[in-house]
């Protein structure tokens, strides 16, 4: 069931989203060679708690950390570790959420550890821009398929592939609500977009094949061919005046 939010509820979500966005920036700013993913997770958790909020991912379905931190060929859900040291040239994707006053904000971004290859930069830039291409079509009266079509058309025209097994989602008082928001689809198809819908849009884009594999830890998802992946996400609200990015600082 899709839960439409009132203006007041969207304002409350905005507070949670700003905390999540601040935590993502704090962790992202700390990405550099020699830092461990556990240190980034600590930075994110400290930021969230200092705002009086709670990490939305910690213990969610058993996930053992504040943030999902995925490096290079890891698509999503990487588990932070004291033994995982970031190296120069790594692509580091951080995905995290914050719960505040009963509402949740969710966002993700991919960061460069020092100088990265031109192709890695192009993948990251394309994934980031595809997120905004998807947000642009989040208008009342549109369809869910418009979002996925905008994302996939943008990425595939640049030679990249779209992960299909994992999608964006509705969000609000729960981390995952209806509807599912695929990063592929046909424009004009799917659920109607209505004012009051709040969505987490999150393209996961691969350098090579779209094929993925789940690692033995039961969480980390990697590209099957070992090539790079990037991930960006915003929580947005659909309003009568167009899309509102709630996780935009």
Express each pLDDT in 155-196 by its tens digit: 999 999 999 999 999 999 999 999 999 999 999 999 999 999
| Average pLDDT for 123-129 | 98
Model confidence over 40-87: pLDDT tens digits? 999 999 999 999 999 999 999 999 999 999 999 999 999 999 999 999
Q: Per the domain annotation, does 207 fall within a domain?
A: yes
Give strand ranges (E) for the chain. 54-55, 67-71, 74-76, 91-100, 103-112, 161-162, 168-170, 177-181, 198-201, 204-206, 212-214, 221-223, 229-231, 234-239, 242-245
Q: Per the domain annotation, does 104 fall within a domain?
A: yes
Q: Per the domain annotation, does 91 fall within a domain?
A: yes
> Which band of pLDDT confidence, cut at 50, 70 and 90, is reported for residue 154?
very high
The predicted pLDDT at position 56 comes to: 98
Q: Per the domain annotation, does 128 fall within a domain?
A: yes
The predicted pLDDT at position 204 comes to: 98
Domain count, the chain: 1
Q: Per the domain annotation, does 94 fall within a domain?
A: yes
Domain of 218?
7-240
Average pLDDT, rounded, for the chain: 98
Model confidence over 212-223: pLDDT tens digits? 999 999 999 999
Q: Distance of CA 164 to CAs 8, 151, 172, 179, 246, Å? A: 34, 12, 23, 15, 25
Orientation angle between helical segments 37-50 and 7-29, nearest 10 degrees: 140
**β-strand 67-71 against 91-100: which pairing, if any?**
antiparallel
- What token pair was written down for 125? 């830039």
The predicted pLDDT at position 64 comes to: 98
| Average pLDDT for 122-131 | 98
Q: Per the domain annotation, does 1 fall within a domain?
A: no
Q: Per the domain annotation, does 156 fall within a domain?
A: yes
- What token pair was written down for 175? 């981390």
Residue 141's domain is classified under what CATH number? 3.90.230.10
> Which band of pLDDT confidence, cut at 50, 70 and 90, is reported for residue 103?
very high
- What token pair was written down for 82? 């004291």
The radius of gyration of the chain from alpha carbons, rounded to an integer in Å, stands at 17
Model confidence over 8-31: pLDDT tens digits? 999 999 999 999 999 999 999 999
Q: Per the domain annotation, does 80 fall within a domain?
A: yes
The predicted pLDDT at position 91 comes to: 98
């Amino acid at each position: 069931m899709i839960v439409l939010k009132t203006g007041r509820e969207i304002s409350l979500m905005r507070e949670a989203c700003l905390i999540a966005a601040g935590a993502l920036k704090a962790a992202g700013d700390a990405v550099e060679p020699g830092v461990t993913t556990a240190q980034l997770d600590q930075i994110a958790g400290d930021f969230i708690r200092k705002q009086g909020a709670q990490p939305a991912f910690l213990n969610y379905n058993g996930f053992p950390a504040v943030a999902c931190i995925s490096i290079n060929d890891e698509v999503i859900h990487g588990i932070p570790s004291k033994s995982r040291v970031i190296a120069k040239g790594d692509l580091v994707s951080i995905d995290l959420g914050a719960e505040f006053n009963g509402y949740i904000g969710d966002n993700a971004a991919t960061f460069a550890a020092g100088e990265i290859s031109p192709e890695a930069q192009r993948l990251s830039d394309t994934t980031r821009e595809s997120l905004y291409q998807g947000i642009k079509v989040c208008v009342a009266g549109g369809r869910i398929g418009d979002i996925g079509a905008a994302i996939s058309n943008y990425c595939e025209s640049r030679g990249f592939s779209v992960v299909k097994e994992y999608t964006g989602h509705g969000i609000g008082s729960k981390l995952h609500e209806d509807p599912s928001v695929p990063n592929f689809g046909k424009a004009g198809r799917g659920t109607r977009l209505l004012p009051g819908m709040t969505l987490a849009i999150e393209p996961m884009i691969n350098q090579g094949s779209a094929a993925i594999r789940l690692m033995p830890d039961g969480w980390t998802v990697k590209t099957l061919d070992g090539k790079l992946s990037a991930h960006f996400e915003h929580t947005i609200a659909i309003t009568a005046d167009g899309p509102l990015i709630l996780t935009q600082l």
